[in-house]
Structure 1
Amino acid sequence: MSVDQHSDPFEERLSAALHDAGDTFEADRGTLTDVGLTRGRRIRARRRAAVLGGAAGIAFVGVGGALLLPGGNGGGEDGRTSAVSGSEVTAGAQDTPAPISGKELIRTLKGLLPDGRFSGEEGRGTDSSLGPFAKVVYDDGEGPAAVGVGLQRVKPGGSQAREATLCPDKVLTPYDSCATSVLADGSKFMMLKGYLDPDRRTDTRGWSAVLVTPQGQMISAGEWNSAAEKGEPVSRPAPPLSASQLEELATAPQWRAAVDAIPKPADWSAPPPRAAGPAVLERLAGLVPDRLDVVSKGSQGKEDAHVVVDDGKGRSFVRISVRHGMSDLVGEIYGPVEKLEDGTRVATWEKPRKEDAAGVVVWTVEALRTDGRRVMASAFSTGAQHEDAALGTPALSMEELRTIALSPWWDDLE
Structure 2
Amino acid sequence: MPVEQRHSDSDSDSDPFERELSAALHHAGADFDTDRAALAAAGTVRGRRLRQRRRAAVLGGAAGVALVGVGGALAVDWGGGPSAPARPPAAASTTPEVASSAAGRDVTSDDMIRTLERLLPKGTFANAQGRGVDPNEPLVDPYAQVVYDDGHGAAAVSVAVNRVRPGGYDARQATRCPDKVYIPYDSCVTSHLPDASVVTVMKGYEYPDRRVDTRLWTANLVTPDGHHVTVSEWNAAAEKDAPISRAQPPLSAAQLKKLAAAKEWRGVVDAIPQDPRGTQEPPASVEEDGKAIAGTLVSLIPTSVKVVGRAEGDDDSQFTYVVVDDGHGRSLVQINVQPNMSDVANQLFGAGSETLPDGTRVAEHKAPGEKGIAGVVMWTVDTLREDGFRVVISAFNAGTQHSSPTRTTPALTMKQLRAIALSPRWRS
TM-score range, shorter chain: 0.7 to 0.9
Counterpart of 2:2 in structure 1 is 12
Is 1:48 the counterpart of 2:53 in the alignment?
yes
Matched residue type, 1:168: P
Compute the TM-score of the two structures, normalised by the length of structure 2. Answer: 0.77
Counterpart of 1:398 in structure 2 is 414
SS in 1 for 2:247: coil
Counterpart of 1:279 in structure 2 is 292
Change in 2 beyond 3 A, CA 1:290/1:32: farther
Once the two structures are TM-superposed, the CA of residue 21 in structure 1 deviates from its matched residue by: 1.4
Matched residue type, 1:246: L
Q: Is 2:340–2:389's contact at 8 Å kept on the other side of the alignment?
A: yes
Q: Within 1, Cα distance between the matches of 2:26 and 2:153?
A: 26
Once the two structures are TM-superposed, the CA of residue 221 in structure 1 deviates from its matched residue by: 0.3
Counterpart of 1:108 in structure 2 is 115
Q: Within 2, Cα distance between the matches of 1:370 and 1:40?
A: 23
Q: Is 2:370–2:402's contact at 8 Å kept on the other side of the alignment?
A: no
Q: Is 2:77–2:238's contact at 8 Å kept on the other side of the alignment?
A: no
Q: Within 1, Cα distance between the matches of 2:348 and 2:69?
A: 30
Counterpart of 2:381 in structure 1 is 365
Counterpart of 2:327 in structure 1 is 312
Is 1:297 the counterpart of 2:310 in the alignment?
yes
SS in 1 for 2:357: coil
Aligned pairs (5 A) from 1:229-248: 229-248=239-258
SS in 1 for 2:241: coil
Counterpart of 1:136 in structure 2 is 146
Long gaps (5+) in structure 2: 5-20, 57-65, 79-101
Q: Is 1:224–1:238's contact at 8 Å kept on the other side of the alignment?
A: yes
Q: Deviations over 1:78-128 (max 9, x none)?
A: xxxxxxxxxxxxxxxxx9532311110111111100010011110001216
Q: Deviations over 1:21-50 (max 9, x none)?
A: 141657994796543357998xx9698399
Of residues 196, 204, 210, the one that matches 1:194 is 204
Change in 2 beyond 3 A, CA 1:206/1:99: same
Q: Within 1, Cα distance between the matches of 2:414 and 2:267?
A: 52
Among all aligned residue pairs of Structure 1 and Structure 2, give the percentage whose two residues are the same amino acid.
47
Aligned pairs (5 A) from 1:15-414: 21-23=24-26, 25=28, 29=32, 34-37=38-41, 48=53, 61-69=68-76, 97-127=104-134, 129=137, 130-268=140-278, 276-298=289-311, 299=314, 301-334=316-349, 335-353=351-369, 355-412=371-428
Q: Within 2, Cα distance between the matches of 1:118 and 1:182?
A: 31
Matched residue type, 1:385: Q
SS in 1 for 2:307: strand
Tell me whether 359-368 or 202-211 shows the greater mean CA deviation.
Answer: 359-368
Once the two structures are TM-superposed, the CA of residue 179 in structure 1 deviates from its matched residue by: 1.1
Once the two structures are TM-superposed, the CA of residue 266 in structure 1 deviates from its matched residue by: 2.1
Compute the TM-score of the two structures, normalised by the length of structure 1. Answer: 0.79
SS in 1 for 2:346: helix
Q: Within 2, Cα distance between the matches of 1:257 and 1:185?
A: 16
SS in 1 for 2:291: helix
Q: Deviations over 1:287-307 (max 9, x none)?
A: 211111111110474432111
Q: Is 2:67–2:178's contact at 8 Å kept on the other side of the alignment?
A: no
Q: Deviations over 1:183-214 (max 9, x none)?
A: 33332211111111122111210000101122
Long gaps (5+) in structure 1: 1-10, 52-58, 72-94
Give RMSD over aligned pairs. Answer: 3.3
Counterpart of 1:74 in structure 2 is none
Q: Is 1:19–1:28's contact at 8 Å kept on the other side of the alignment?
A: no
Q: Is 2:206–2:215's contact at 8 Å kept on the other side of the alignment?
A: yes
Change in 2 beyond 3 A, CA 1:171/1:367: same
Tell me whether 139-148 or 336-345 shows the greater mean CA deviation.
Answer: 336-345
Q: Deviations over 1:140-181 (max 9, x none)?
A: 111111101001112222222111111122222221111112
Q: Within 2, Cα distance between the matches of 1:354 and 1:264?
A: 38
Q: Within 2, Cα distance between the matches of 1:196 and 1:47?
A: 26
Q: Within 1, Cα distance between the matches of 2:37 and 2:27?
A: 12
Change in 2 beyond 3 A, CA 1:180/1:174: same
Q: Is 1:68–1:150's contact at 8 Å kept on the other side of the alignment?
A: no
Once the two structures are TM-superposed, the CA of residue 280 in structure 1 deviates from its matched residue by: 2.3
SS in 2 for 1:190: strand
Q: Within 1, Cα distance between the matches of 2:236 and 2:331?
A: 35
Q: Within 1, Cα distance between the matches of 2:131 and 2:255?
A: 23
Q: Within 2, Cα distance between the matches of 1:203 and 1:19?
A: 24
Matched residue type, 1:98: R
